[in-house]
Amino acid sequence: MRHILKLHVRKRALLASLLIFNMLMATRVILSRSVHPLLLKRTPFLHSAPKHLPKSQSCPLWSSSFSFCLSLHKSATTNPSLSSRPCSSLSATAMASSASVDEALEANPLLQDFDFPPFDVVDANHVRPGIRALLKKLEGDLEELERTVEPTWPKLVVPLEKIIDRLTVVWGLVNHLKSVKDSSELRSAIEEVQPEKVKFQLRLGQSKPIYNAFKAVLESPDWQTLTEARKRIVESQIKEAVLCGVSLEDDKRDNFNKIEQELERLSHKFQENVLDATKKFEKLVTDKNEIEGLPATALGMAAQTALSKGHENATAENGPWIITLDGPSFLSIMQHARNRSLREEIYHAYVTRASSGDLDNTAIIDSILKLRLEKAKLLNYNNYAEVSMATKMATVEKAEELLEKLRSASWNAAVQDMEDLKNFSKSKDAPEANDLNHWDTSFWSERLRESKFDVNEEELRPYFSLPKVMDGLFNLANILFGINVEPADGLAPVWNNDVRFYCIKDSSGSPIAYFYFDPYTRPSEKRGGAWMDEVLARSHVLSRDGASARLPVAHMVCNQTPPVGNKPSLMTFREVETVFHEFGHALQHMLTKQDEGLVAGIRGIEWDAVELPSQFMENWCYHRDTLMSIAKHYETGETLPEETYKKLLAARTFRAGSLSLRQIKFASVDLKLHTDYIPGGSESIFDVDRRVSERTQVIPPLPEDRFLCGFSHIFAGGYAAGYYSYKWAEVLSADAFSAFEDAGLDNSKAVKETGLKFRETILALGGGKAPLEVFVEFRGREPSPEPLLRHNGLLATASA
Active centre residues (catalytic): 582
Handedness of CA 629, 630, 636, 640 (dihedral sign): negative
The Cα–Cα gap between 97 and 411 comes to: 70
Cα Rg of the chain (Å, integer) = 26
CA torsion, ordered 774, 776, 779, 783, to nearest 10 deg:
110
3-state secondary structure 331-369: HHHHHHCCCHHHHHHHHHHHHCCCCCHHHCCHHHHHHHH
d(CA 664, CA 128): 42
Q: Sheet of 511-520: strands edge to edge?
A: 31-32, 531-536, 553-560, 511-520, 500-505, 484-487
- DSSP for 10-37 reads S-----THHHHHIIIIIT---EE---ST
Q: What is the DSSP letter of 655?
A: T
Q: What is the helix, strand, coil percentage profile of the chain, to 5?
A: 60, 5, 35
Burial degree of 790 (CB within 10 A; 0-12, 13-18, 19+): middle
Q: How far apart are CA 751 and CA 636, in angstroms?
A: 31
The C-alpha atoms of residue 12 and residue 718 are separated, in whole angstroms, by 7
What is the rounded distance in angstroms from the CA atom of residue 770 to the CA atom of residue 795? 29
Q: Which residues share a beta bridge with 532?
A: 31, 556
CB-CB neighbours of 38 under 10 Å: 19
User: Dihedrals φ, ψ of 504, to 5°?
Assistant: -100, 130
d(CA 346, CA 321) in angstroms, rounded, equals 14
Task: Write the CB contacts of 735 (distance below 8 Å, at least 6 apart in sequence).
Answer: 775, 779, 783, 784, 786, 787, 788
Burial of 549 (0-12, 13-18, 19+ CB in 10 A): buried
In 3D space, the residue among 765, 767, 764, 741 whose CA is nearest the CA of residue 754 turns out to be 741
**Cα dist. 552→49, 73, 109, 533, 775 in Å?**
20, 35, 21, 11, 23
DSSP letter assigned to residue 562: P
CA distance 624 to 451: 23
Judging by DSSP bridges, how do beta strands 484-487 and 500-505 pair with one another? Answer: antiparallel
User: Alpha-carbon distance 413 to 793, whole Å?
Assistant: 9
